Amino acid sequence: MPPALAVVGAVAGVVGAGAAIASANTQRKMAKEQQKQQQLATRQSQRQAIREAQIRRAQTRATGQAMGVAGGSGVSGGISSLGSQLGSSLGFSSQMSGLSTNISSLGQKASTLSAISGLGFQMFDTFGGTNTLFGGGDKKAQADLLSGVGAQ
């Protein structure tokens, strides 16, 4: 490889490496923002569920008082059931948020590994690629190296 081409290849490799790193960093920031967005939506949903449960509880108590059974076991059981349903909804919401966070984190890792892989292949090509590995494109050397591949 002529010296000028080697320099151009090295510069291209550095630029490519910088772009890959910048891309991975941007994807990492994006994943963090998506996690914040998911957490905010989860908190809003939980607050709304709590509000609705409080309203239903108050309506149940008011209905019980209007019917003259305010202290009865039916009203108490109904109110307890509302609390149980709320707890179940909040637990599910928290689990879904946790899964979304895990999915975002795994996507971020996959993107970073993809960028590193691309960088590695780019550097491999920049420094001669398969021609260097197989002795300058010698078909006999390639055949000798690969002669055992696939044989059982």
Model pTM score: 0.49
- Which pLDDT does position 7 carry in this prediction? 65
- Which pLDDT does position 113 carry in this prediction? 79
- Which pLDDT does position 94 carry in this prediction? 79
Separation CA 103–CA 107 (nearest Å) = 6
The parts of the chain modelled with pLDDT lower than 70 are 1-10, 12-13, 128-152
Separation CA 54–CA 49 (nearest Å) = 9
Give 26's contacts (C-beta < 8 A, 6+ positions apart).
none
Separation CA 27–CA 110 (nearest Å) = 10
Structure tokens at 119: 């960088």
